[in-house]
């Protein structure tokens, strides 16, 4: 049963100093914790040791006297004595360095790694002088592209195999390999099969020399130009900790930091390389106002007045319930709170929703007991009731993959299509789309299953059921597996499990950067900040804000429907692009054109922004401090590294100023002020003062709600990072913004811990009761659509990140081979599909991982796409198909 091992410790001596070591730990790791750095190239704290480079030799006292041992794979023993400085150790290290250098080109001045290269550093610190090698060095063709993102210079390679081990062990994409033998060994790919991994950038980060470089970064900046801040990646909601680097007010590089509870140092390529979107020429840098049908530049004053006038008119003429504020899942926590306050306290509408009809009801997300990533990676069983995590929350995928392989965590997958974790799942229950509740019911039922349920064989059910024995701990990863069906089946399956198994905890697999923070801080219908229902929190918030809406409002889909019918007179889009992201594009289009007056607060001119009457430009990641909240509810600091383009502002300032323009005062003047107000008012954030977040001990962030309001900060700190690029400039790392640059400088680190509010906190929102509904029977003459996202897509971030844009695939309709035959389609041929919404012509691709009768189409690869076919009012999407 995988339980996080409790560690036995003992004392060892390193260079005469006593160090507390953990059983099973390698000498190199124990020494490092004790403050002694043992040089190394191949060892990486997050991968299994291989002992290849031999740089880490140390003297260890054994029964037969002192002897040289490699510190990276010899585990510590009680009372072990280690000497890292003996003459013999020095001689051996000099020898190894000389051997590594004999074939290494001396092109440091033009190498991307120059200045942050462990080989260079070790040579200065530990190495011999000039080379004694008189022979010619090993030659290879200079940098060759091994993928669209990574270049390889084999002459610089020192054969540490970090890259190949990462690709194989960690990512499961062993496209790069050691080819040939001995001194002729080289890293390479198979001809015409590139290193197409979503995680390839990590190899660039961990390569100890300049052999692997990222084509987006190459020659852009020299390591010594770069100083950096710590931040959190908000491209998805995993919340990987990163270091952001810049040069001349452009982000130049994003590196993974090793956060024990979250990302272990890894990033996905989408996150890593999407800094280009921040630097994009197409950023909105000035407010726009529609005049004579055209969006034209305006001053903030003009734009705010126009926005206020439009919204006020709509409210005064038609009432606050004809206003809606949609989006906000990409805002910082403070922004989300400010907008919740503006929408619910000032505009007076509860038609507020940070999700685009592609998520789960807020009560479900916030009401079910929450798990952390660590809980999932040490659970006995993890149920995946979610989209393909590799595509949507890539680093969570890595963590679960490791958990399945190294901790023996049993994964049960409920889905209608194979995912990146299918090979590691103990049971894959491939069911017909829309039938998750029936499969869940079969899993939870008594007695042996005897017949198939929604296409899942009884044996598979039986296998999965064994993994749910009552003594096993269960974590559910919960998200929308398919956007072509309503959220209902997923919700019902989850609620049924929760009722049957109250001890099970849930990790929401919602994708947008701060969707969890936005939900928790009230950007959802029926909710107020602090995971509080409108009913429970009305008194407290009415008192603090002046007023709160009296009744539950509309979610995004319902609000768009109202708009389409001409009943919504004012709409604010907070970084929201329903035309791209809402599952039902027909509805979104009609909604946007039907809405009386539209204000878009955004960083890009998205298709939806083009429809707005007023456009307000805002800052995005890297440009503003604040906090963000990940899938676990972990709150971490965002770092500011550059200033936003033009006159773009932080979103909370827009809210605050717009309130003034509406003759109201949000009372929010600084980030610290907002954070303090959140701590005071939002029950789920009690105790989370700015000072606590800034505490060095909280570098991994703090999971809300805190255990008790005045519990000591959660211990744990970012491991000394093994990456040279980070370590080399660690001295410059700051949390928050450089003074005087940003709109705000965050809280006061080390300041007094504010006392939590004394008013009784309202209860946390509760999950709804289950209401079992049968799946919709399949129609034998149709194919039922499954639709989910791919990592690289037609969305703004990818398309504005030069290197990533071309990685988005062209959409194809995946169909089970037997259905290809049944409908006389040709693999690779064209098919015309007809849904209740529209008709589209697509290329067919055989996909045996689908259940029969189902088909899959990527959601986000442009038009015509799934969003053109889906009707948000239907529980499922059935397609009539015919060869085109």
Partner 1 sequence: METRTVPRIVTSRITAYDDSHTIERFLATGGYDGLRKALSMTPEQVQAEVLTSNLLGRGGAGFEAGKKWSMMRKAPTRYLVINGDESEPATFKDHMLVEGDPNQLVEGTIISAYAIQACQAFIYLRGEFALGLERVQQAVNDAYRNGALGEDIFGSGFSLDIVVQPGAGAYICGEETALLESLEGRRGMPRIKPPYFPAAMGLYGEPTIVNNVETMANMPWIISNGGAAFAALGAGRSTGTRIFALSGHVNNPANYEVEMVKTTFRNLIYDEGLGGGIRGGKELKCFVPGGASAPWFGPQHLDLPLGQDEVGKSNGVLPGGGGSMLGSGSIVVMDQDTDVVRAAWRLARFFARESCGKCTPCREGTSWLDKVMKRIVDGHGRPGDLELLRDVCDNIAPGLAFPYAMTTICFLGPSAAMPIMSALTMFPEEFERRVGSAPAGSLPGKPETAGVV
Partner 2 sequence: MSRLAPEFEKRAVDLMALYPQPRSALLPLLHVLQEQDGYLSEDGMEHVAELVGLLPAEVLSVASFYDMFHTEPVGRYLVGICTNIACMLDGAEELLHHAEQRLGIKHGATTPDGLFTLEEVECVAHCNKAPCAQVNYRYFGPLADDDFDQLIDDLAAGALADQVPSHGTLIRVRREGSLRVAPERIAEERAIVTGQIADRAAGAAAAKKATEEAEAKRQADEAKAGAEEKKES
The yes or no reply on residue 785 touching partner 2 (CB under 8 A) is no
Q: Which of residues 185-224 bind partner 2 (CB under 8 A)?
A: 188-191, 193
Query: Measured from the CB of residue 158, what is the shortest distance to ligand SF4 in angstroms?
Result: 4
The yes or no reply on residue 272 touching ligand FES (CB under 6 A) is no
Handedness of CA 717, 721, 725, 727 (dihedral sign): positive
- Give me the half-sphere count of Cα atoms (radius 13 Å) on the Cβ side of residue 864: 17
Q: Please pick, from the candidates 27, 43, 323, 514, the single residue that binds ligand FES as defined by CB under 6 A.
A: 43
Closer residue to ligand FES in complex, CB, 31/226:
31
Query: Measured from the CB of residue 145, what is the shortest distance to partner 2 in angstroms?
Result: 15
How far CA 25 is from CA of 5, 22, 161, in Å, comes to 12, 5, 21
Angle between helices 534-545 and 671-681 (to 10 degrees): 130
Contacts by 728-734 with C-beta closer than 8 Å and gap 24+? 728/115, 728/116, 728/121, 728/223, 729/116, 729/223, 729/226, 729/227, 729/228, 729/245, 732/227, 732/228, 733/228, 733/229, 733/230, 733/243, 734/229, 734/230, 734/639
Among the listed ranges 53-61, 510-518, 531-539, 592-600, the one in contact with partner 1 (CB under 8 A) is: 53-61
Distance, in Å, from the CA atom of 365 to the CA atom of 555, rounded to the nearest integer, reads: 15
The yes or no reply on residue 179 touching partner 2 (CB under 8 A) is yes
Among partner 1, ligand SF4, partner 2, none, what does residue 211 contact (CB within 5–8 Å per kind)? Answer: ligand SF4
Query: Measured from the CB of residue 151, what is the shortest distance to partner 2 in angstroms?
Result: 17
Strand 352-353 and strand 323-327: the pairing is parallel
Query: Measured from the CB of residue 647, what is the shortest distance to partner 2 in angstroms?
Result: 50
Among ligand FES, ligand SF4, partner 1, none, what does residue 550 contact (CB within 5–8 Å per kind)? Answer: none
Strand 150-152 and strand 144-145: the pairing is antiparallel
The yes or no reply on residue 177 touching partner 2 (CB under 8 A) is yes
How far CA 355 is from CA of 91, 378, 384, 523, 582, in Å, comes to 61, 30, 21, 9, 9
Residues of this chain that interact with ligand SF4 (CB under 6 A) are 157-163, 187, 207-209, 211-212
Distance, in Å, from the CA atom of 61 to the CA atom of 803, rounded to the nearest integer, reads: 52
Tokens of 25: 């730990």
Q: Please pick, from the candidates 12, 27, 42, 702, the single residue that binds ligand FES as defined by CB under 6 A.
A: 42
Closest residue by Cα to residue 257 from 245, 266, 249: 266
Number of shown-chain residues binding partner 1 (CB under 8 A) = 42
Query: Measured from the CB of residue 195, what is the shortest distance to ligand SF4 in angstroms?
Result: 11
Among ligand SF4, partner 1, ligand FES, none, what does residue 809 contact (CB within 5–8 Å per kind)? Answer: none
Among the listed ranges 46-54, 630-638, 651-659, 745-753, the one in contact with ligand FES (CB under 6 A) is: 46-54
Distance, in Å, from the CA atom of 278 to the CA atom of 743, rounded to the nearest integer, reads: 17
Among the listed ranges 17-25, 27-35, 179-187, 720-728, the one in contact with partner 2 (CB under 8 A) is: 179-187
Q: Pattern 52-81, binding to ligand FES, x per CB under 6 A?
A: xxxxx-------------x-x---------
Among ligand FES, ligand SF4, partner 1, none, what does residue 133 contact (CB within 5–8 Å per kind)? Answer: partner 1
Query: Measured from the CB of residue 65, what is the shortest distance to partner 1 in angstroms?
Result: 4
Query: Measured from the CB of residue 171, what is the shortest distance to partner 2 in angstroms?
Result: 12
Torsion of CA 90, 93, 97, 98, to 10 degrees: 60
The yes or no reply on residue 96 touching partner 1 (CB under 8 A) is yes
Q: Let me know the angle formed at the C-alpha of 340 by 339 and 341, rounded to the nearest 5 degrees.
A: 90
Q: Which of residues 166-225 bind partner 1 (CB under 8 A)?
A: 178, 180-185
Q: What b/e readout covers 361-380, taking b as 16+ CB neighbours within 10 angstroms? A: bbbbbbbbebbbbbbbbbbb
Q: Let me know the angle formed at the C-alpha of 478 by 530 and 482, rounded to the nearest 5 degrees.
A: 120
For 81, other C-beta atoms within 10 Å of its C-beta total 15
Q: Please pick, from the candidates 47, 102, 714, 880, the single residue that binds partner 1 as defined by CB under 8 A.
A: 102
Among ligand FES, ligand SF4, partner 1, none, what does residue 187 contact (CB within 5–8 Å per kind)? Answer: ligand SF4
Question: Bridge partners of 288?
Answer: 297, 615
Query: Measured from the CB of residue 16, what is the shortest distance to partner 1 in angstroms?
Result: 19
Among partner 1, partner 2, ligand SF4, none, what does residue 474 contact (CB within 5–8 Å per kind)? Answer: none
Location of structure tokens 């600091």 = 637
By the 8 A CB rule, do 404 and 424 touch? yes
Among the listed ranges 36-44, 166-174, 185-193, 827-835, the one in contact with ligand FES (CB under 6 A) is: 36-44
Where on the chain is the footprint of partner 2 (CB under 8 A)? 174-181, 188-191, 193
Where on the chain is the footprint of ligand FES (CB under 6 A)? 40-43, 51-56, 70, 72
Where on the chain is the footprint of partner 1 (CB under 8 A)? 49-55, 57, 62, 64-70, 73-75, 88, 91-92, 95-96, 98-100, 102-103, 132-135, 158-159, 178, 180-185
């Amino acid at each position: 049963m995988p339980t996080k091992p409790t560690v036995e410790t003992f004392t060892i001596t390193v260079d005469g100093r006593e160090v507390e070591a953990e059983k099973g730990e390698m000498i190199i790791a124990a020494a490092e914790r004790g403050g002694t750095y043992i040089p190394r190239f191949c060892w990486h704290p997050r991968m299994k040791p291989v002992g290849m480079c031999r740089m880490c030799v140390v003297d260890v006292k054994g029964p037969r006297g002192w002897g040289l041992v490699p510190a990276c794979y010899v585990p510590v023993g009680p009372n072990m004595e280690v000497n890292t400085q003996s003459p013999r150790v020095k001689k051996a290290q000099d020898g190894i360095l000389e051997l590594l250098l004999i074939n290494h080109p001396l092109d440091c001045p033009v190498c991307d790694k120059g200045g942050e290269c462990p080989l260079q550093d070790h040579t200065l610190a530990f190495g011999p002088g000039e080379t004694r090698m008189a022979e010619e060095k090993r030659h290879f063709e200079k940098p060759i592209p091994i993928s669209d993102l990574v270049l390889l210079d084999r002459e610089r390679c020192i054969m540490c195999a970090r890259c190949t081990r990462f690709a194989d062990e960690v990512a499961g994409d062993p496209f790069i390999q050691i080819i040939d033998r001995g001194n002729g060994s080289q890293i390479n790919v198979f001809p015409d099969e590139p290193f197409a991994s979503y995680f390839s950038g990590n190899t660039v980060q961990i390569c100890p020399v300049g052999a692997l470089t990222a084509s987006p970064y190459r020659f852009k900046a020299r390591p010594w130009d770069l100083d950096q801040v710590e931040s959190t990646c908000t491209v998805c909601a995993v919340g990987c900790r990163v270091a952001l680097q810049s040069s001349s007010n452009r982000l130049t590089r994003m590196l993974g930091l090793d956060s024990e509870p979250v990302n272990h140092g890894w990033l996905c390529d989408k996150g890593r390389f999407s800094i280009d979107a921040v630097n994009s020429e197409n950023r909105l840098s000035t407010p726009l106002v529609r005049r004579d049908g055209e969006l034209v530049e305006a001053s903030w004053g003009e734009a705010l007045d126009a926005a206020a006038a439009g919204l006020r008119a709509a409210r005064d003429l038609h009432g606050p319930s004809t206003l809606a504020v949609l989006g906000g899942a990409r805002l910082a926590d403070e922004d989300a709170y400010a907008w919740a306050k503006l929408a619910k306290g000032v505009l007076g509408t509860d038609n507020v929703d940070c999700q685009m009809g592609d998520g789960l009801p807020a009560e479900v997300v916030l009401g079910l007991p929450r798990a952390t990533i660590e809980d999932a990676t040490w659970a006995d069983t993890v149920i995946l009731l979610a989209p393909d995590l590799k595509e949507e929350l890539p680093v969570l995928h890595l963590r679960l993959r490791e958990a399945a392989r190294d901790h023996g965590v049993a994964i049960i997958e409920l889905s209608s299509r194979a995912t990146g974790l299918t090979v590691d799942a103990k049971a894959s229950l491939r069911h017909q789309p829309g039938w998750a509740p029936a499969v869940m019911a079969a899993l939870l039922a008594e007695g042996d299953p005897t017949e198939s349920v929604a296409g899942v064989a009884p044996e598979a059910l039986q296998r999965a059921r064994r993994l749910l024995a009552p003594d096993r701990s269960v974590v559910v990863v919960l998200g929308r597996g398919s956007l072509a069906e309503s959220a209902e089946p997923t919700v019902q399956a989850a609620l049924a499990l929760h009722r049957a198994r109250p001890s099970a905890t849930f990790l929401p697999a919602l994708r947008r950067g701060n969707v969890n923070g936005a939900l928790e801080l009230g950007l959802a219908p029926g909710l107020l900040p602090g995971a509080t229902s409108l009913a429970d929190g009305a008194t407290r918030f009415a008192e603090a804000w002046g007023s709160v809406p009296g009744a539950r409002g509309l979610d995004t889909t319902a609000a768009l429907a109202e708009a389409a019918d001409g009943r919504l007179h004012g709409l604010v889009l907070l970084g929201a692009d329903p035309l791209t992201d809402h599952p039902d594009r027909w509805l979104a289009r009609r909604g946007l054109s039907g809405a009386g007056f539209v204000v878009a607060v955004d960083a890009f001119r998205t298709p939806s922004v083009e429809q707005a009457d007023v456009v307000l430009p805002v800052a995005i990641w890297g440009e503003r401090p604040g906090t963000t909240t990940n899938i676990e509810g972990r709150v971490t600091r965002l770092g500011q590294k550059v200033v936003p383009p033009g006159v773009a502002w932080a979103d909370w300032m827009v809210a605050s100023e717009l309130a003034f323009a509406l003759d109201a005062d949000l009372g929010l003047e600084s980030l610290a002020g907002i954070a303090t107000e959140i701590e005071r008012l939002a029950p789920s954030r009690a105790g989370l003062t700015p000072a606590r977040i800034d505490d060095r001990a909280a570098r991994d962030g703090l999971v809300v709600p805190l255990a008790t309001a005045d519990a000591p900060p959660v211990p744990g700190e970012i491991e000394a990072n093994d990456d040279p690029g980070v370590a080399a400039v660690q001295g410059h790392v700051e949390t928050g913004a450089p003074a005087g640059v940003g709109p705000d400088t965050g809280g006061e680190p080390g300041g007094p811990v504010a006392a939590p509010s004394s008013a009784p906190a309202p209860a946390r929102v509760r999950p709804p009761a289950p209401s079992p509904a049968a799946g919709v029977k399949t129609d034998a003459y149709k194919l039922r659509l499954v639709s989910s996202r791919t990592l690289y897509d037609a969305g703004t971030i990818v398309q504005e990140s030069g290197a990533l844009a071309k990685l988005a695939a062209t959409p194809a309709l995946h169909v089970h081979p037997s259905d290809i035959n049944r409908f006389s389609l040709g693999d690779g041929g064209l098919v015309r599909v007809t849904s209740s919404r529209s008709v589209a012509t697509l290329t067919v691709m055989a996909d045996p991982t689908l259940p029969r009768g189902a088909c899959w189409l990527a959601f986000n690869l442009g038009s015509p796409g799934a969003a053109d076919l889906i009707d948000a009012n239907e529980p499922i999407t059935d397609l009539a198909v015919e060869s085109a």
